Structure 1
């Protein structure tokens, strides 16, 4: 018995003796209850000893004007910097945790630049992780109840609604065998794109045109449509008419991301009144929704005609339609939203890094030649399991040129990070785009070293030495990117086909990037293609 407990029992015994009442068991239970009331959990102790939320380092918001002036072009200290550079400077000035508030119509955000802090944050995300919804999309879907019926999809829903939708589609999107029915389609798209690249390059310089960035968008759109709509849209045809369905779709997707940036990131009054940009965005959604509905109807007819097919032979669209038409429509819209600009820019940056690293390119070519005996040999499902160096090149390109700065979570419980209180309801961003370029995590971070991702790589460069939460290009946990396998399929197939057919070179200034809703390639993708 502890000293404190013994003293409590002694006091109770003395009191009981005076009253001629001696119930030892009752006295001991009383003493135990009193002591337990004084004992606090480690979490409570940590919270009570932590510094306040207001003490978190960060730019100080000024009265009335807040912090917005710091991000204005030509005026603010961060005004003319890309988002990644802004994040680097915030980390440099304030440390591993930074609070940013005082931005009109925007919530306070805490940025994390340390993988251990990020891990602790993720471990507290709960069963149904929450993050800021794309509010313009929520608004659009709320205004069309006949189409969405309160089901807003993965990008816009939260809590149990999000969990229920994710549970419906997860088995059809995340399992490795999911990509198998689509390998042939994606190979055909890549082969057509190779032929188009040959025709697009300048006959004298052998360089691709300045407009090739848009051609990469067309490739990504054609690829995701082959998967999501189970149809070729015709995006890779030459001289597409301006009123053709593929060109209308391409324009809608391109405009959509620009408008997302203006409405969701930059200050906007769309919540006050229906702005011109909001109307434009809703028109883009209408275009995509209309085209999606038509192809869903076609998929439903094909499903009726293919009752003899095994489940593994069904396309992703057919599987979704088999759940219900509404789920299919919402999921396809989300795939279009997330699977075009992201994949095209990731593939473009990978091509750039390969073109500027001839030693890595030679290893890549040797690997491609083994799985593709001829230049026009198809990429097969089996071949995709035999290209570890290609996969390593993609990982390294995403490390050096991340598409997003990181992952956001809205805290559902109070948590202490770096000794500071983070109350429930606060938005926290784990900035993996910065962590993945930290020399403490990845030695020689500015060098393109695919070998760091391979088994048996040297200890001084191996990615295994990095904290597991430093690099997360596809997210973490239940909210990990649901289209990851399809994006990898598209990029692996394209890179294998390109390097099997060409030696790629870069003879321009280093690649520049710009920040829209995501980080995109800003420099013209004028890669030189030499036939092999």
Structure 2
């Protein structure tokens, strides 16, 4: 049965009973903002009163996403969010694509309320195609599906095992030397990629950033070098296949989850392609995980850096395997964040010169090693990274599935509803950021004389790595990698940009689409 038919059947069976239920239900049965039952001081309105595109009988809003007739056809996620916000306000309901409506929040106070109501074990029903794959490959996952797709107690147990080895600053510091060496090698390679006449990087430099990210994550996860930074890496090499398959995984997952289709055969084909890509990723990862395990058995040096895999093997081999797979599949996000970061630095000469002064103060010589102590003395570097992620967030929002009936913004939100805090829209809103389209790293630096509005930034506006216990577990590693990359590039080159605004594609994650033809001048 096609998705459209399933949706029509659900609408026919549920639409009118739900309408009657919402209109006749006593206000005493609605939960309040504090999630208590029976408070009559708040007059909650029914879910169907939330502003949003008007759904048609039987087909809901499906027609709005169809070719030629749909106002949302071929519109990316971020643009869709902006359109909904501009037309309908701070809380918007979109019916017709899932069993339950999706609620979009465009106000930091509403986002705060959502996080307060998410429960002790937040539910995030996302990337279901990936979860379906992992359930289908029980011989690999054996009931442990990782942090991305697990829910409930299964997720909580997994997180409790891996959290201490991923989130502690002390653990991250242990890998600084590894990433420094890899980034040194990467910067040396950059010099060989420059066009001798224009001093510009090639159109496919984004792919080089993917290689740097894969090599870095493989080193952290497995203490093993994949060899991504070798010159003239073959198209059929493990590294390049991994890069291509990870990009394909995100694209296909987005198409299956978010691009409406009346033809079931389209979904079957996309699922087949997705499973094929994931099989390749797992096959390559398994080989390097096995190599890393063999190296562990051979090595008895107590002074060496221990990989995430080795630390987790002491707890549970299956947990170690699944976490290593998750880490190796996360390279797409860091590489795109790096591409956008270099663009913003290249496109803002004054900020780059100010950044270079700080970099020169901690790295007086090009060969000065980057240590954990150095990373404690670079507030402007950190501000540059935060500001880039405000203008180019990796994800557009944070989704939570409501664990019980709750109220948001004076409306009743039933259990099981997906609610999205749209932080990418909020981060560009002049209500919350002065000069929101400008790249101003100073806004993140306390007591900055150039920009004094740091204290006015609402806590729940900017969330590049998520929130609470379901925040990105690799945040500290990603920040460390970006810091080291920026330090090394700025210490070695003056970077320029002579093209138009950076183009990107917005799906599950935001990806750079412009050829990154940076001009680099050796210092």
Q: Output the CA distance in 1 between the equivalents of 2:451 and 2:272.
A: 53
2:320 equivalent among 309, 328, 353: 328
Q: Are 2:219 and 2:307, in contact at CA under 8 Å, matched by a contact in 1?
A: no
Q: Are 1:229 and 1:292, in contact at CA under 8 Å, matched by a contact in 2?
A: no
Ranges in structure 1 where 5+ consecutive residues have no aligned partner:
1-36
Question: Once the 2 structures are TM-superposed, how far is the Cα of residue 274 of structure 1 from its aligned partner?
Answer: 7.6
Question: Once the 2 structures are TM-superposed, how far is the Cα of residue 213 of structure 1 from its aligned partner?
Answer: 1.6
1:111 equivalent among 89, 104, 121: 104
Question: Once the 2 structures are TM-superposed, how far is the Cα of residue 305 of structure 1 from its aligned partner?
Answer: 4.7
Q: Output the CA distance in 2 between the equivalents of 1:210 and 1:272.
A: 35
Q: Output the CA distance in 2 between the equivalents of 1:393 and 1:175.
A: 23
Q: Are 2:64 and 2:72, in contact at CA under 8 Å, matched by a contact in 1?
A: yes
CA 1:273–1:397 in structure 2 vs 1: closer, same or farther (change >3 Å)? closer
Residue aligning to 2:171: 178
Deviates more, 1:354-363 or 1:168-177: 354-363
Q: Output the CA distance in 2 between the equivalents of 1:510 and 1:272.
A: 38
SS in 2 for 1:275: helix
Q: Output the CA distance in 2 between the equivalents of 1:170 and 1:97.
A: 33
SS in 1 for 2:148: coil
Residue aligning to 2:352: 361
Q: How many residues were matched structurally?
A: 492
Question: Once the 2 structures are TM-superposed, how far is the Cα of residue 207 of structure 1 from its aligned partner?
Answer: 1.3
Q: How does 1:102-501 map to 2 (within 5 A)?
A: 102-103=96-97, 107-267=100-260, 275-306=268-299, 309=302, 313-337=305-329, 339-457=330-448, 461-501=452-492
CA 1:184–1:60 in structure 2 vs 1: closer, same or farther (change >3 Å)? same
CA 1:81–1:458 in structure 2 vs 1: closer, same or farther (change >3 Å)? farther
CA 1:270–1:212 in structure 2 vs 1: closer, same or farther (change >3 Å)? farther
1:70 equivalent among 60, 64, 73: 64
Q: Output the CA distance in 1 between the equivalents of 2:450 and 2:367.
A: 38
Based on CA coordinates, which of the two structures has the bigger radius of gyration? 1
Does 1:94 pair with 2:88?
Answer: yes
Question: Once the 2 structures are TM-superposed, how far is the Cα of residue 460 of structure 1 from its aligned partner?
Answer: 6.3
Does 1:57 pair with 2:48?
Answer: no
Q: Are 2:285 and 2:328, in contact at CA under 8 Å, matched by a contact in 1?
A: no
Question: Once the 2 structures are TM-superposed, how far is the Cα of residue 308 of structure 1 from its aligned partner?
Answer: 6.2
Cα RMSD, aligned residues only: 2.4
Residue aligning to 1:502: 493
Question: Once the 2 structures are TM-superposed, how far is the Cα of residue 273 of structure 1 from its aligned partner?
Answer: 9.4
SS in 1 for 2:313: helix
Residue aligning to 1:522: 513
CA 1:477–1:272 in structure 2 vs 1: closer, same or farther (change >3 Å)? farther
SS in 1 for 2:412: strand
Question: Once the 2 structures are TM-superposed, how far is the Cα of residue 464 of structure 1 from its aligned partner?
Answer: 2.1
SS in 2 for 1:504: strand
Q: Output the CA distance in 2 between the equivalents of 1:516 and 1:206.
A: 33
Question: Once the 2 structures are TM-superposed, how far is the Cα of residue 257 of structure 1 from its aligned partner?
Answer: 2.0
Q: Are 2:76 and 2:507, in contact at CA under 8 Å, matched by a contact in 1?
A: no
Question: Once the 2 structures are TM-superposed, how far is the Cα of residue 210 of structure 1 from its aligned partner?
Answer: 1.2
Q: Are 2:223 and 2:306, in contact at CA under 8 Å, matched by a contact in 1?
A: no
Question: Once the 2 structures are TM-superposed, how far is the Cα of residue 377 of structure 1 from its aligned partner?
Answer: 2.9
Question: Once the 2 structures are TM-superposed, how far is the Cα of residue 286 of structure 1 from its aligned partner?
Answer: 1.9
Q: Output the CA distance in 2 between the equivalents of 1:263 and 1:106.
A: 15
Q: Are 2:442 and 2:451, in contact at CA under 8 Å, matched by a contact in 1?
A: no
CA 1:167–1:372 in structure 2 vs 1: closer, same or farther (change >3 Å)? same
CA 1:52–1:460 in structure 2 vs 1: closer, same or farther (change >3 Å)? farther
Question: Once the 2 structures are TM-superposed, how far is the Cα of residue 205 of structure 1 from its aligned partner?
Answer: 1.3
Q: Are 2:65 and 2:260, in contact at CA under 8 Å, matched by a contact in 1?
A: no
Q: Are 2:62 and 2:260, in contact at CA under 8 Å, matched by a contact in 1?
A: no
Q: Are 2:219 and 2:225, in contact at CA under 8 Å, matched by a contact in 1?
A: yes
The superposition leaves residues 76-113 of structure 1 with CA deviations (integer Å, 9 ceiling, x where unpaired) of 2233443222211211110100001112x564210000
The superposition leaves residues 164-219 of structure 1 with CA deviations (integer Å, 9 ceiling, x where unpaired) of 00000000000001112221221122112212221112111111111112222122
SS in 2 for 1:154: helix
The superposition leaves residues 354-390 of structure 1 with CA deviations (integer Å, 9 ceiling, x where unpaired) of 1111111011111111222222333222211111111
Question: Once the 2 structures are TM-superposed, how far is the Cα of residue 66 of structure 1 from its aligned partner?
Answer: 2.3
Question: Once the 2 structures are TM-superposed, how far is the Cα of residue 494 of structure 1 from its aligned partner?
Answer: 0.5
Question: Once the 2 structures are TM-superposed, how far is the Cα of residue 72 of structure 1 from its aligned partner?
Answer: 3.7
In the superposition, the TM-score normalised over structure 1's length comes to 0.87
Q: Output the CA distance in 1 between the equivalents of 2:370 and 2:522.
A: 19
Ranges in structure 2 where 5+ consecutive residues have no aligned partner:
1-27
Question: Once the 2 structures are TM-superposed, how far is the Cα of residue 423 of structure 1 from its aligned partner?
Answer: 1.1
SS in 1 for 2:147: coil
